[in-house]
Amino acid sequence: MTHADGRMTRAWWGVIVPVKPARSGKSRLRVADVDRERLARAIALDTIAAARSCRAVGEVVVVTDDEEISRALAAARGIRLIAEGDRPRGIDAAVALGAGALGRDMPRAALLGDLPALAPADLEVALALAATRERGVVADAEGFGSTLVTAAAGHALRTAFGEDSLRRHIALGCARLELPTASTLRRDVDTADQLTTAAALGLGPRTSAVVGSALAAASATPPAPRRD
């Protein structure tokens, strides 16, 4: 893969991003004067863009039934769209669908689509750690949930997202991939407070455009610009 600055890098991970339709996702994320569905889509699109920009990633598979997300990504290079359709719903089912499309010949990672401050370099660090493990997991900042689950080539990608998912992923054989608390990969967003914390690290452009002035008004510290 060739980057904008001319660098060549080996891109070999397949990353699966499950995205709920915005009408039903992020129900706890309420920011005054900000449309929740628009915000949920912006967060997902920024997460996907960061994953695609990561030097270790060869393909991003987005599993979603959100029509606006699909339209926004229809012409994007290196991104494969899969609709859930009438299949069983839920994050784990969506991940399984994406993993099935990728096969087992490459290492795969399931990445939650609610990381609006995600820096490609932080994802690259995690995938480098994961390359030494059969299965791995990255904990969220609180230390109970999970934001990334990985599987080496030839191994099944098994996920158990939801409440207390870190414990369940470790029980499934995932080794914890140790990242600093400040890593943007650990800053998933479900609430306005979490969004404010993520904003201090630098939000992606779509999320920043949606929340900009509203989040700044609700916080003593305005959202920082992204520094990729």
DSSP string, 130-198: HTTSSEEEEE-TTSSSEEEEEE-TTS------STTHHHHHHHTTPEE----TT-GGG---SSHHHHHHH
Higher-confidence residue of 216 and 63: namely 63
- For residue 52, give the H/E element and its range: helix 36-53
Q: Which domains does the chain have, with CATH numbers?
A: 13-218 (3.90.550.10)
Q: Is the pLDDT of residue 4 over 60?
A: no
Rounded average pLDDT over 153-173: 96
Q: What is the pLDDT of residues 59-116, one digit of tens each?
A: 999 999 999 999 999 999 999 999 988 776 899 999 999 999 999 999 999 999 999 9
| Distance, CA of 180 to CA of 188 (rounded, Å) | 14
pLDDT value at residue 227: 47
Residue 208's pLDDT is 93
CB 111 within 8 A of CB 17: yes
Who has greater pLDDT, 75 or 27?
75
Instruction: Give the lowest-confidence range in 111-115, 136-140, 158-162, 214-218.
Output: 214-218
- Which has more pLDDT, 79 or 212? 79
pLDDT at 5 over 60: no
* Full-model pTM: 0.87
